[in-house]
Amino acid sequence: MAKYRKLGRTSAQRKALLRNQVTALLNNGKIVTTEAKAKEVRKIAEGLIALAVKEKDNFEMVKVTAKVAVKDKDGKRVKEVVDGKKVTKYETVEKEIKKDMPSRLHARRQMLKVFNPVVEVPKEAAGKKRNTKEVDLVAKMFDEVAPKYANRNGGYTRIVKIGQRKGDAAMEVILELV
């Protein structure tokens, strides 16, 4: 017996499909797909959520000093003339950042192997590149998803059957986070 479903695809196509669906599930909270795909996506998603729950508090806060460019009211960098050249003006700022412990860093990299980049587009600028922002799905896993499931021992997803698809009569399901 096989350890996984082949889904009628080559290995590269199958990996891409599963990565896309896991990314969509953890970004949106639920997806509609076939039953076989849902069962495969569920395995991967639950493993990632378990990893996030295990490593959610494994960091330390560190104070760092950074040089930050001074900006005007429009958000543009302020320039000053030094020795006849225009140079950006900088100021030093103290920031407190999260520093991952080694095991959390490893977990972060394991998640990045699975997730595809997600770009969020605001509704008023649909179809435009301006004001789009990249979603940090790994940070979302550690900050939002993991605390939600901290006191739960597995079973982070639910499969709800919604009937057969019209074209090929494949059983369609909704795969959602509990």
Q: pLDDT (tens digit, 0 to 9) for every residue of the chain, 178 residues total?
A: 679 999 999 999 999 999 999 999 999 999 999 999 999 999 999 999 999 999 999 999 999 999 999 999 888 899 998 888 999 999 999 999 999 999 999 999 999 999 999 998 887 767 777 778 899 999 999 999 999 999 999 999 999 999 999 999 999 999 999 9
Domain stop point among 77, 100, 123:
100
Q: What is the pTM of this model?
A: 0.84
Tokens (6 digits) for 92: 């030093």
What was the pLDDT predicted at 1?
64
Q: Are residues 107 and 91 in the same domain?
A: no
Question: Domain of 77?
Answer: 59-100
Task: Please tell me the total count of domains within the chain.
Answer: 2
Residue 24, classed as helix, strand or coil, is helix
Q: Is residue 3 part of a domain?
A: no
DSSP 87-125: EE-EEEEEEEEEEE-HHHHHHHHHHHHHPPPEEE--GGG
Q: Is residue 5 part of a domain?
A: no
Q: Is residue 4 part of a domain?
A: no
What was the pLDDT predicted at 74?
87
Q: Are residues 47 and 85 in the same domain?
A: no
Q: Are residues 110 and 159 in the same domain?
A: yes
DSSP summary character for residue 170: P
DSSP 32-70: EEEHHHHHHHHHHHHHHHHHHHHHTT-EEEEEEEEEEE-
Q: Are residues 133 and 171 in the same domain?
A: yes
What was the pLDDT predicted at 131?
76
DSSP 115-158: PPPEEE--GGGTT-STT-EEE-HHHHIIIIIHHHTTT--S--EE
116: left (phi over 0), alpha (psi -120 to 50) or beta: beta
Could you tell me how far CA 39 lies from the centroid of its own chain? 20
Domain stop point among 45, 78, 100:
100
Domain stop point among 75, 100, 125:
100
Q: Are residues 118 and 66 in the same domain?
A: no
Q: What is the CATH number of the domain that holds 117?
A: 3.90.1030.10
